[in-house]
Amino acid sequence: MSTLAPPRPATAAPATSPGLRGPARAVFRQHRRPFHLLALLTVLAVAGLVAVTLWVGHDADVFSRAGCPTGDTTPTPTCAQTVRDHMDSQFLLYRAQRCAALMLTLLPAVYGAFMAGPAIGRELESGTHRLAWTQSVSPARWLTAKLAVPATAVVAATLVLGTARAWASGRAEEYSDSWYDGLRSATGVLPLAYALFALAVGTLAGLLLRVTLRSMAAALAAQGIAVYGFDAVRAHLWPVVTATHPTASTGGFQRDRWVVDTGYLTPTGERLPAGTCVGDSGAGDACRDALGITGRFVDYHPESHRWPLQLVESGVLLAVAALAVYTAYRLLRRPNT
């Protein structure tokens, strides 16, 4: 007579944590040190910027209660030192903002080099990518994880640092750039567009070159070309506004205008460069009369063009990034990949 074994007690299913799974988890564990370093740098930069901004804000409150105007040309000895200290603290805030802007400008180049080298190029160079592809992970899924995990970290870091910089810029009183001056790739939505562009182009460079150092060099070169190229053509990404005025008038200086071009006008509408008639007043007047100059023109961008200019530049960068990602997935379909 056979006996039945007692039933085994039911075991609870393992709890599912909300963490990463599959290839994404592997990518994070493989490159956790760079991700941790990025998080640490972001936290330190934001903490330093916030600390400086709060300290300068407290100093500004103290200065406002002192009753010493900054524009006083003959201040008392007490006010002179108070104003000097106030201006020094304001300049410290200005420098802190510029450092944050420089960080936002340089970090995308680091992102691109990381994707081109350690994330993609090194694996293809050593052949370790084939191990993942033989463990029920398709090449497309492998590349998706390689892109998604760094992109999430980069977007989060860029948004946090960019938000902190914008908050600090709103509290500057004495020192501030014009809306078109400074490191323009570090304002508005541009840092995010440059970061995603760098990730996509770096990924494509790693897949094409398959050598760590060469891939990193190509990614850095692409980022440099994008930054300096847009600096050269940014003024022409959106139609300018043209103002005309008499020759004897300067048209009135407006600090918020980004002047792109200026010069002279003839009765036929021909434009002549601003340096056409250079000399003393008499010679200059004779030159202008001989050429029949009737007035001046100024091509400029008003402050209302800030967002159109940024959105056009961001759109071009994101379009190139999308094309690079599409090309990267197409490359994975090659038989010799």
Q: Mean pLDDT lowest for which of 93-107, 196-210, 305-319?
A: 93-107
pLDDT grade, residue 13 (50/70/90)? very low
**Six token digits for residue 195:** 């970061």
On whether residue 8 sits in a domain, the answer given is no
Residues 205 and 88 in one domain: yes
On whether residue 116 sits in a domain, the answer given is yes
- Which of 46 and 17 is assigned the larger pLDDT? 46
Mean of pLDDT values over 176-193: 76
Q: Is the pLDDT of residue 213 over 80?
A: yes
Of 234, 220, 163, the C-alpha closest to 192 is: 163
Residues 128 and 265 in one domain: no
The 10s digit of each residue's pLDDT in 80-121 is 878 888 888 888 888 888 888 889 888 999 999 998 888 888
Residues 160 and 187 in one domain: yes
Q: Is the pLDDT of residue 187 over 90?
A: no
Q: Is the pLDDT of residue 9 over 60?
A: no
Instruction: Tell me the residue type at 144.
Output: T
Q: Is the pLDDT of residue 326 over 90?
A: yes
What is residue 51's predicted lDDT score, i.e. its pLDDT?
93
Residues 62 and 121 in one domain: yes
Task: Give the mean pLDDT of the chain.
Answer: 82
Q: Is the pLDDT of residue 327 over 60?
A: yes
SS (H, E, C) the chain: CCCCCCCCCCCCCCCCCCCCCHHHHHHHHHCHHHHHHHHHHHHHHHHHHHHHHHHHHHHHHHHHHHCCCCCCCCCCHHHHHHHHHHHHHHHHHHHHHHHHHHHHHHHHHHHHHHHHHHHHHHHHHHCCHHHHHCCCCCHHHHHHHHHHHHHHHHHHHHHHHHHHHHHHHCCCCCCCCCCCCCCHHHCCCHHHHHHHHHHHHHHHHHHHHCCHHHHHHHHHHHHHHHHHHHHHHHHHCCCCEEEEECCCCCCCCCCCCEEEEEEEECCCCCEEECCCCCCCHHHHHHHHHHHCCCEEEEEEECHHHHHHHHHHHHHHHHHHHHHHHHHHHHHCCCCCC
Residues 125 and 177 in one domain: yes
Residues 226 and 168 in one domain: yes
What is residue 337's predicted lDDT score, i.e. its pLDDT?
56
What is residue 12's predicted lDDT score, i.e. its pLDDT?
45
Task: Using alpha carbons, list the distances in angstroms from residue 124 to 89, 145, 206.
Answer: 51, 15, 8
Residues 208 and 301 in one domain: no
On whether residue 98 sits in a domain, the answer given is yes
Residues 178 and 194 in one domain: yes
- Which of 337 and 218 is assigned the larger pLDDT? 218
- Which of 264 and 318 is assigned the larger pLDDT? 318
On whether residue 17 sits in a domain, the answer given is no
What is residue 14's predicted lDDT score, i.e. its pLDDT?
45
Q: Burial, 173: exposed, middle or buried (Cβ in 10 Å; 0-12, 13-18, 19+)? A: middle
The 10s digit of each residue's pLDDT in 235-286 is 999 999 988 887 766 555 566 788 898 888 888 888 888 877 765 555 667 7
Residues 212 and 175 in one domain: yes
Q: How far apart are CA 141 and CA 212, in angstroms?
A: 22
Of 309, 310, 264, 316, the C-alpha closest to 291 is: 264
Total structural domains within the chain: 2
pLDDT grade, residue 151 (50/70/90)? very high
On whether residue 37 sits in a domain, the answer given is yes
The 10s digit of each residue's pLDDT in 14-37 is 444 445 666 788 788 888 898 999
User: Which domain covers residue 62, as residue numbers?
Assistant: 24-71+78-232+307-331
Residues 227 and 320 in one domain: yes
Is this prediction's pTM over 0.85?
no
On whether residue 33 sits in a domain, the answer given is yes
On whether residue 14 sits in a domain, the answer given is no
On whether residue 224 sits in a domain, the answer given is yes
Residues 66 and 156 in one domain: yes
Residues 173 and 82 in one domain: yes
